[in-house]
Each structure stands twice: as C-alpha cells, then as structure tokens.
C-alpha cells in the first residue's frame, strides 16, 4: 500500500465509527433525500432532458481542439486576455504573476472547485497575498484552516455552536449567536473586503465556444459583489467546462440546479460575462486562465472520460453510502465522493488504488445523476485498469492469491479440518476485514462430505 493509502486507512478508522460524525452525515443525507423527492416533477420528461444534456457535453468532447480555439478567438475579440496552464503549478504561478504585474494588494476569491484542486489559496497566502474567500461555507472553513468537506455545502460538517465558537475567537463576538446573527457578522467582514479589493478570482460553470462568454451561477451574490469594483478579474476554469453554443445553457443550467434547496429549484443568480467591465467608474481587465491539469489525459480514456460531463450538482456524493459514512475530509483530493474516485485514475494507478475500493455498487448515484453518468461502472473500470497494471492493494492481492490456490484442488481442501480452514481465514484477513465485522464461518461439512453423506444414507 502506498503512503497515501496507509494514511487514508488510518483516517477512515478514526471517522467511520464516530457516532457524532455519523449522526451529522445521516441528517445531511435525509435532508437531501427530502429535497430531491420531487425534483424530477419540475420536468415533463426528465430522462429526455438528461439525454439532451449528455449529447451537448459529448459533442464538446468530440470537437474539443476546434472548440477551444473558437472560444479563445471569440474571448479575445471580446476584449479578454486568455492564458493557458498545463498543470497546477503553472496555473498558480500564472495567477500570482498577473496579480503582481497588476500591483494588486487586496484580492477576493469566490468558490471554485478548481482552485481547491490546484491549492490556490495556500499558495497565494504563502506568497504573502492578502486574499479572502467570499463564499460563506468556504469562509467558515478557512477560519479553522480546514478544507471544505463538501463541494456544494462546504461547512455542512459543522454545527452552529462550532461556528459560533470560531467566530467568537476570530472576530470577538459572543459565542451564542443565532444563525442569522452569524450571517450578519460574515456579511460585515466580507463587505469591507469587497470595498477594498483590487482583484477578484472566480471560477466558471461553463465557457461558451461560439460567443466567448463565461457563465457563472451563484446563490449568495458574492460573485457579483466581488467583480463589481475590482480593476482585475481572473476567471480560473478547466478546459472541461467548454460547451459549443450559448443556447446550450438553457439545458445545462437548470439541471445543475436540480437539487437546490429552494422551492424554485434554481440558483439565485446567473451571470453571463461577455467582456471586461468598462464605464466611467471602472476600466477592468479580464483574464481567463484555462487549465488542463490532467483533463486532456482523462479525455483520452474511452470510458472514464464520461465523468468530465459532470456539472457538479452534488447528487452523487449526497446519496453515496461511503461518503455518508466517512465524510469529505477523509478523501485526499479536491473532489470527494464518486466523482473524485473516478478522476483520481489520472494521478497514477498506485496513487488511486485505495480510492477505487470506495464503492458498494448500489447505483444510487446513477439514479440521481442529471447527466446519466454510469458512475458505478466507471469506478469498476478503474479497478479493472488498476488490476491489469498490477497495482492492486497488497492485502487484496495476498487474499485473492491464497484463495485461488486453496480452491484449485477439492481433495486438498477436504484434507484439512474445518477449524484449520477457519484459523487460516482468520489469520489471513482479520486485519483487512476489520474488527467491527464478524468473520465468515466455514460450514462444518464441505459440499463433498455432504454429498457423500447423503448418498450413503440413501444407499
């Protein structure tokens, strides 16, 4: 097992049997199920809409080389500056260079899964850049120097009391504030940051090839506040967010909001950016940083590439029994849950072997996925690829090799007594099986012995 795999196993053991943690996760799961019950009723034919969405994203995959060039050309024509980053290090250095060249002192950042993926916040802080996260959930997590536990609901693992205690330490307020009062404190802190910010870093839901537009959705209005007065706006976006035409968002945006907690089942704000803001008060520069970071490598995989059609609605990890047992912090990547398990294959077979086991094949994720992604099958494909490359977990290989040798010959199996078989099994898998589960027990008689006994009694 790799070092990552060992650390992962240790972390799982600490979390999986924590009753307080499990209670939080169970409440989170029940809340999602209640919200999701009537989501499909908002469509006359939800399956048809899912098929349309997949066809849009799949078309983009087929013509990526041309569509990316089209987007760049149109984006530059709109007055934007386009940069290309091959990997995480190049993307971080590129953003830092832009901030330095533009002489920005105060930076605000909005929620971005790609920023988490490349580790942008820690990098900028290391470079002594004054950067503030403006998404409420992420803002709360960063006060405790934590990663978001959930891509969609960052602070879902925290209770109100825990947040109040943190705010009391950080901002000198009472530690018994209500949820509404805590939100007021957050707004007050962030409003000062918005007013003094020189630059804003945002993500994007989609980038549009035929118009060069950038599409951003949000719930809180923090994106609009962040970019309203800043002289520099940096859009950090993966090349997988590309869609062919502006008309495609009429299908994709509603589906990405399918499991929103609001009654209208939609985000509160949608922003389509065509060009930098220019008026008598603002003369903004708009940089678009297009990041690969193994996305092209994933697109080369005939089956797993389908995960790149994901629109980050959050349904798969919300219903995943594994995620709802171990939580998001235990995963060692920025996409906790089934999506991250599949995407991890591009990091190398050895590095992703421990994650490939995190699926019960219950297919719950596929039932709720608005893009009809066969998630369980893709995780299984990861396992197959890892096994072919002989990078399976060492414990699993030992178990399987031993079992295969023992069952090759029925007579050899019958020669040993039942208690010896049981002892062998116990010694072999007691560590990997876990102390919280009962070991399987051999029958007192083998099938051969039972068959012989039945025939003798009949004769």
- Helix 160-171 to helix 136-143 angle (10° resolution) is 70
Distance CA 12, CA 312 (A): 25
| Chain segment 429-459, per-residue pLDDT in tens | 666 666 667 777 767 777 777 888 888 766 5
Model pLDDT, residue 12:
85
Rounded to 10 deg, the angle between the 179-196 and 136-143 helix axes is: 90
Task: Tell me, yes or no, whether 200 lies in a domain.
Answer: yes
82-to-75, 234, 285, 454 alpha-carbon distances in Å? 7, 10, 11, 79
Q: 386 and 319, same structural domain?
A: yes
| One domain for residues 379 and 243 | no
Residue 190 within a domain: yes
Of 392, 423, 447, which residue constitutes the final position of a domain? 392
414 CB-contact burial (10 Å; exposed 0-12 / middle 13-18 / buried 19+)? middle
> How high is the pLDDT of residue 452?
82
Contact (CB, 8 A) for 265 and 370: no
Rounded Cα distance, 378 and 144, in Å? 35
Q: Give the pLDDT score at 436.
A: 67
Residues 208 and 281 in one domain: yes
User: Does the residue 169 lie in any domain?
Assistant: yes
Q: What is the pLDDT of residue 415?
A: 62
Confidence at residue 334, expressed as pLDDT on a 0 to 100 scale: 80
So what's the pLDDT on residue 404?
73
In a domain, 403, yes or no: no
**What pLDDT does 395 receive?**
60
What does the pLDDT read at residue 313? 87
State pTM to two decimals.
Answer: 0.85
Q: Is 66 domain-assigned?
A: yes
Same domain for 307 and 289? no
Sign of CA dihedral 23, 26, 32, 33: negative
Residue 366 sits in a domain whose CATH number is: 1.10.1060
Contact 382, 352 (CB under 8 A): yes
How many C-beta atoms lie closer than 10 Å to residue 424's C-beta? 14
Q: Read off the tokens for 151.
A: 């891509």
In a domain, residue 96? The reply is yes
Distance CA 135, CA 186 (A): 10
Identify the CA nearest to 311 among candidates 107, 57, 65.
57
- The reply to whether 88 and 217 lie within a common domain is yes
- C-alpha–C-alpha distance, residues 362 and 335, integer Å: 20
Closest residue by Cα to residue 294 from 62, 72, 86, 63? 86
Considering only CA atoms, give the Rg of the chain. Answer: 26
Same domain as 249, residue 136: yes
Dist CA 357 CA 390 (whole Å): 15
Full strand arrangement of the beta sheet holding 214-218: 242-243, 206-208, 214-218, 269-273
Instruction: Please indicate, yes or no, whether residues 278 and 236 belong to a single structural domain of this protein.
Output: yes
CATH label of the domain that carries residue 198? 3.40.50.10420
Same structural domain for residues 199 and 316? no
Instruction: Quote the CA–CA distance of 161 and 163 in Å, as a whole number.
Output: 5
Q: Are residues 171 and 283 in the same domain?
A: yes
Residue 312 lies in a domain: yes
Say if residue 289 is in the same domain as residue 189.
yes
Q: Which of 37, 31, 111 is nearest to 324 (CA)?
A: 31
Question: In this predicted structure, what is the pLDDT of residue 206?
Answer: 95
Classify strands 206-208 and 214-218 as parallel, antiparallel or unpaired.
antiparallel
Domain annotation covers residue 327 = yes
- The verdict on 360 and 433 lying in the same domain is no
Q: Which residues of the chain have pLDDT under 50?
A: none
**Is 415 within 8 Å of 382 (Cβ atoms)?**
no
23 and 50 in one domain? no
> Is 231 within 8 Å of 287 (Cβ atoms)?
no
Give the residue from 293, 324, 344 where a domain finishes. Answer: 293
Q: Choose one of 259, 293, 327: the last residue of a domain.
A: 293
Ramachandran sector of residue 86 (left: φ over 0; alpha: ψ -120 to 50; beta: rest): alpha
**Using an 8 Å Cβ cutoff, are 132 and 108 in contact?**
yes
Structural domain tally of the chain? Answer: 3
**Domain, as residue range, for 442:** 409-458
């Amino acid at each position: 097992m790799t070092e990552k795999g060992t650390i992962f196993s240790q972390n799982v053991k600490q979390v999986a049997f924590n009753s307080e943690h499990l209670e939080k996760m169970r409440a989170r799961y029940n809340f999602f199920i209640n919200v999701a019950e009537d989501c499909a009723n908002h469509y006359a034919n939800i399956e048809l809409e899912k098929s349309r969405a997949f066809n849009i994203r799949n078309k983009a995959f087929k013509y990526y080389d041309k569509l990316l060039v089209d987007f760049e050309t149109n984006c530059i024509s709109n007055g934007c500056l386009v940069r290309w980053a091959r990997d995480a290090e190049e993307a971080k250095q590129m953003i830092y260079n832009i901030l330095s060249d533009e002489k920005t002192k105060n930076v605000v950042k909005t929620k971005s899964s790609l920023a988490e993926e490349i580790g942008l916040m820690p990098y900028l802080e290391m470079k002594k850049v004054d950067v503030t996260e403006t998404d409420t959930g992420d803002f709360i997590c960063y006060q405790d120097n934590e990663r978001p536990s959930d891509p969609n609901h960052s602070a879902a693992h925290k209770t109100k009391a825990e947040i109040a205690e943190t705010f009391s330490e950080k901002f000198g307020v009472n530690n018994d504030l209500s949820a509404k009062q805590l939100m007021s404190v957050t707004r007050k802190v962030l409003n000062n940051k918005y007013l003094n910010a020189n630059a804003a870093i945002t993500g994007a839901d989609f980038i549009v090839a035929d118009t060069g537009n950038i599409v951003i959705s949000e719930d809180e209005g923090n994106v609009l506040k962040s970019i309203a007065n800043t002289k520099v706006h940096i859009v950090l976006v993966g090349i997988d967010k590309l869609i062919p035409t502006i008309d495609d968002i009429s299908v994709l945006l509603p589906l990405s909001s399918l499991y929103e907690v609001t009654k209208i089942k939609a985000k509160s704000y949608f922003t389509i950016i065509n060009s930098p803001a220019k008026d008598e008060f603002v003369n903004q520069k708009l940089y678009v940083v297009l990041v690969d970071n193994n996305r092209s490598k994933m697109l080369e995989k005939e089956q797993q590439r389908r995960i790149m059609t994901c629109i980050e609605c959050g349904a798969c990890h919300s219903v995943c029994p594994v995620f709802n047992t171990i939580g998001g912090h235990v995963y060692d990547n920025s996409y906790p849950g089934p999506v991250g398990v599949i995407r991890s294959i591009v990091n190398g077979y050895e590095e992703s072997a421990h994650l490939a086991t995190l699926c019960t094949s219950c297919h719950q994720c596929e039932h709720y996925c608005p893009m009809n992604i066969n998630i369980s099958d893709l995780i299984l494909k990861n396992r197959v690829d890892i096994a072919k490359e002989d990078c399976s977990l060492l414990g699993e290989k030992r178990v399987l090799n031993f079992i295969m040798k023992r069952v090759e010959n029925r007579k050899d199996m019958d020669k040993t007594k039942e208690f010896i078989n049981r002892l062998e099994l116990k010694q072999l898998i007691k560590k990997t099986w876990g102390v919280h589960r009962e070991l399987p027990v051999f029958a007192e008689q083998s099938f051969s012995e039972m068959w012989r006994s039945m025939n003798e009694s009949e004769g």
